[in-house]
Amino acid sequence: MTRLSLSQAFIYLLRRDLTLAFRNRAEFANPLLFFIMVVTLFPLAIGAVPELLARIAPGIIWVAALLAAMLSLESIFRSDFDDGSLDQLLMSAHPMPLLVLAKVCAHWLVTGFPLLIISPILAEMLGMPQQAQGILFLTILVGTPVLSLVGSIGVALTVGLPKGGIILSILVLPLYVPVLIFAASAIEAAAGGLDVSAQIYMLLAFLFLALSLSPVAAAAALKISMS
């Protein structure tokens, strides 16, 4: 198998998933709308106090991003399971971890990338300090792919279950907590003028670890679920 054939398989599957997502625009819009609504509801619930909103803005944005990511996780493999194409992927001559990675990349481009674009606007709305907004952008850029990669394992384990949404949440939510802690901590430290390199390095470590292990684990989980 040539390297070109592997790259073609990756690109074709990525393009296919993106095409299907844009045809079903609700799949593209729902996580983004949910993210915006959760963030904008906080000022209504706790009051428009600028100092308070600026202080809790990192937690608000990251909790909303985490919940929006969980909302869209099942879309990674569910449609393929429903139409039978997941069986074809499992029987493909190409390495299954590579195909899983292509589907995760498509999921992030559809759900994570819009959050990355809209988060600075919401941060400005909440009054987040300017020096923290760049770190917010960086943590969203590094952290949301981790959410998609780790979530793919949970989706692969529950894809064959008729009502796997609750089980999926129980499986992946504890694994998301470290990303939430270090991302929110980095933004808060940046707002206070402190060094954030330790938190950023930890998020990068999570990303590299997830890139290395999650596609393999998700591919193995899919074979177990479909056997």
Give the whole-angstrom CA distance, residue 92 versus residue 112: 28
* Triad 176, 9, 89: Cα angle to 5°: 70
pLDDT tens profile 110-163: 989 999 999 999 999 888 888 899 999 999 999 999 999 999 999 988 887 776
Domain count, the chain: 1
Provide the residue range defining the domain that includes 85. Answer: 3-226
Coil, helix or strand at residue 94: coil
Name the burial class of residue 31, with classes exposed (0-12), middle (13-18) and buried (19+) by CB atoms within 10 angstroms of its CB: buried
| Digit-coded pLDDT (tens) for 34-92 | 999 999 998 888 877 888 888 888 899 999 999 998 888 888 887 787 777 888 888 87
**The model's pTM:** 0.90
Under 8 Å between Cβ of 177 and 115: no
